[in-house]
Structure 1
């Protein structure tokens, strides 16, 4: 097979391959960019594999960066772009079920492609667009099939994360997994417990953002991988709820965890505990909590002004995305219009701050400042008072006066 019209990303990188080849070495485009070009999908990183050793690559180009030289990878900087060039290699001794204990540089493309995970990712392409296919990857693309290169049991024993990659690619591409490959995942699913949670997290979120996330979750259940990721085996009814939903698409990790946490019926504390087990960032935990709070209000009685304010415009958009996935009926235009009509959109828009309260002699520095400002913020957001400094100063005095008299 020869691709006649190469995407611009390849055209820009062709001089790198030509330079390597003109020095007497072999060089090919490899990996996901080749696969996605054949499928007509957008491509991202353009990766290059070559028979030249790292030191030889560095001699051929003026500007290089040692991004992973111990594994044979050198970044070539060319006309403002960076291209990772990796020497053909073999790998052995995966004692941690993830990283090879030994990497050996070789000159053979065939041997290099044998170590790759799936046939659809073991395609190589010359700089003129000719595709090299040693494992019937092109046939598997036509059949929409995820199939391991060689013995699937060996591939997953080498790198257990490949099992998550299998379900991720199936979800992303709407492919099915080859029966032998699926059987090997089931056999080795327990090895997923040996993989760093951060790596599983990345593959899982990508899977949930694919075209068929329900399929990915079902595959995880069928292969028992669900038992070896943090906490999920304790929430199987929630997993089944998601699998039973109509088809949906999620745009980012906030939406992914919002959908999961809502479906699992988690409160704020439980969301924090779950996502900390998954090594999620604090920003993701806070965003998920806000999304779930907003979703619960939507279902119960609609969003109030304070929740609109606390959620914010961006996360309200994510809340609407999760609501669509959950098949929750909501007038999204009306929700966003109500947000736009809020008197203030953030704390900085409040017409008064702690310094103003101190300067006016209402309060002295201390924890009371934050508490009073919260109350002033609330009455403005709820439309009970105008957002102007004299009005808010007077209201602060009233609050304090009532508190001192024991009326609040």
Structure 2
């Protein structure tokens, strides 16, 4: 198979391949960029594999960075762009089920492609646009199959994160798991516990935000992968709501809020759950606010001050969740009410503590209570946001 038209991301990188070939080495575009080219997905960068050893790559180009030289990867700065170039290699010895104990540089593209995870990622393309396909990756692209290269169990023992990558690709590409590949995940899902939470989290979020996330999430549950994830062991029944959602989430904070709601976590356990997943404090705080907003809106009619306290972003997120769960709230009405609020932030109030002190109010709990009354009164439209009007309202 030969590709006659290449997008700019490839043509811009072509001089890199030409320079390597001119120096006497083989060079190919490899992996996901070739896959995405063939199925017409957006491509943001390209990966290049070569027969040149890392030191030979560095000698070929004037500017380079040793980004992963121990594994054969050098980042080359050339023609106004930066390109990761990796030497053909084989790997062996995966004692931690993730990183190879030994990397061996080889001169053969075939050996390099054999170590890759799935057939659709074991594709290469030369400078002429000719596709190298040793494992029927093209056929699996046509069949919409995610199939391990060679023996699936061996691939997952080499790198257990590949099992999460498999269900992530299901979500992103709307592909199916090939039978033996799926069986190998079911048989080896416990190996996922050997992988760092940070790496699992990255794949989990990509799965959740993919266009086919609900179907992929069902496989995440049914293959047993969820049992090896923080806070999800034994929670399959609760999480089974996700595949039946109206649609998948479209942003990360909404996704984590959905998980917390499905698990029915008490407020006091949300932060610990988010920490287990190595989420940032900012994400944890955002999720707590979204879940609190969802709970409030689901349980009672919101006052104007409730909407003010919730805020625009958290309100929109809570309404999205209610819609996804099939529990629609009067979203348009609530958002319209929010937009009509006289102020949206406490900082917009025209008085503050110093102003009250100047009016003769001594620093005390009473001062804070007066500020709260003023803020509530302005938000609820009981008084104009004007110092004189507020003074009369507070009777000071």
TM range (shorter): over 0.9
Q: Distance in 2 between matches of 1:339 and 1:79?
A: 51
Taking a change above 3 Å as real, the CA distance of residues 124 and 346 of structure 1, as seen in their structure-2 partners, is: same
- Counterpart of 2:255 in structure 1 is 256
Taking a change above 3 Å as real, the CA distance of residues 350 and 207 of structure 1, as seen in their structure-2 partners, is: same
Taking a change above 3 Å as real, the CA distance of residues 304 and 114 of structure 1, as seen in their structure-2 partners, is: farther
**What is the 5 A alignment of 1:63-74?**
63-74=63-74
Secondary structure of 1:104's counterpart equals strand
- Counterpart of 1:219 in structure 2 is 219
1:323 has 2:322 as partner:
yes
- Counterpart of 1:403 in structure 2 is none
Contact conserved, 1:217 with 1:239, CA < 8 A, in 2?
Answer: no
- Counterpart of 2:193 in structure 1 is 193
Q: Distance in 1 between matches of 2:310 and 2:326?
A: 20
Taking a change above 3 Å as real, the CA distance of residues 73 and 311 of structure 1, as seen in their structure-2 partners, is: farther
After superposition, the CA RMSD in angstroms is 2.2
- Counterpart of 2:165 in structure 1 is 165
1:28 has 2:28 as partner:
yes
Contact conserved, 1:290 with 1:310, CA < 8 A, in 2?
Answer: no
Q: Distance in 2 between matches of 1:74 and 1:68?
A: 6
TM-score between both structures, scaled by the size of structure 1: 0.90
Q: Distance in 2 between matches of 1:342 and 1:187?
A: 56
Secondary structure of 2:132's counterpart equals strand
Contact conserved, 1:237 with 1:264, CA < 8 A, in 2?
Answer: no
Q: Distance in 1 between matches of 2:310 and 2:134?
A: 52
Secondary structure of 1:18's counterpart equals helix
Q: Distance in 2 between matches of 1:162 and 1:128?
A: 31
Q: Distance in 2 between matches of 1:338 and 1:128?
A: 60
1:51 has 2:51 as partner:
yes
Report how far residue 114 of structure 1 moved.
0.9
Q: Distance in 1 between matches of 2:53 and 2:362?
A: 70
- The structure 1 segments of at least 4 consecutive aligned residues displaced by more than 6 Å after TM superposition are 366-369
Report how far residue 371 of structure 1 moved.
6.0
The aligned length equals: 396
Taking a change above 3 Å as real, the CA distance of residues 78 and 310 of structure 1, as seen in their structure-2 partners, is: farther
**What is the 5 A alignment of 1:233-248?**
233-246=233-246, 248=247
- Unaligned 5+ runs, structure 1: 399-408
Report how far residue 108 of structure 1 moved.
1.3
Q: Residue by residue, what CA displacement relative to the aligned partner does 1:228-263 show, whole Å, maximum 9, x if unpaired?
A: 1011124333211222334x1322211111221222
**What is the 5 A alignment of 1:242-321?**
242-246=242-246, 248-321=247-320
Secondary structure of 1:324's counterpart equals helix
Report how far residue 82 of structure 1 moved.
1.7
Secondary structure of 1:348's counterpart equals helix
Deviates more, 1:196-205 or 1:98-107: 98-107
Taking a change above 3 Å as real, the CA distance of residues 221 and 61 of structure 1, as seen in their structure-2 partners, is: same
Taking a change above 3 Å as real, the CA distance of residues 339 and 61 of structure 1, as seen in their structure-2 partners, is: farther
- Counterpart of 1:376 in structure 2 is 374
Q: Residue by residue, what CA displacement relative to the aligned partner does 1:343-363 show, whole Å, maximum 9, x if unpaired?
A: 222232222233433444424
Q: Distance in 2 between matches of 1:70 and 1:114?
A: 20
TM-score between both structures, scaled by the size of structure 2: 0.93
Taking a change above 3 Å as real, the CA distance of residues 117 and 321 of structure 1, as seen in their structure-2 partners, is: same
Contact conserved, 1:385 with 1:391, CA < 8 A, in 2?
Answer: yes
Q: Distance in 2 between matches of 1:285 and 1:396?
A: 37
Deviates more, 1:334-343 or 1:44-53: 334-343
- Counterpart of 1:388 in structure 2 is 386
Q: Distance in 1 between matches of 2:70 and 2:360?
A: 65
Q: Distance in 2 between matches of 1:68 and 1:310?
A: 48
**What is the 5 A alignment of 1:87-236?**
87-236=87-236
Q: Distance in 2 between matches of 1:372 and 1:273?
A: 35
Q: Distance in 1 between matches of 2:58 and 2:394?
A: 68
Contact conserved, 2:312 with 2:338, CA < 8 A, in 1?
Answer: yes
Secondary structure of 2:52's counterpart equals coil
Taking a change above 3 Å as real, the CA distance of residues 352 and 46 of structure 1, as seen in their structure-2 partners, is: farther
Report how far residue 31 of structure 1 moved.
1.6
Secondary structure of 1:48's counterpart equals strand
Taking a change above 3 Å as real, the CA distance of residues 36 and 340 of structure 1, as seen in their structure-2 partners, is: same
Report how far residue 102 of structure 1 moved.
1.6
Secondary structure of 1:233's counterpart equals coil
- Counterpart of 1:402 in structure 2 is none
- Unaligned 5+ runs, structure 2: none
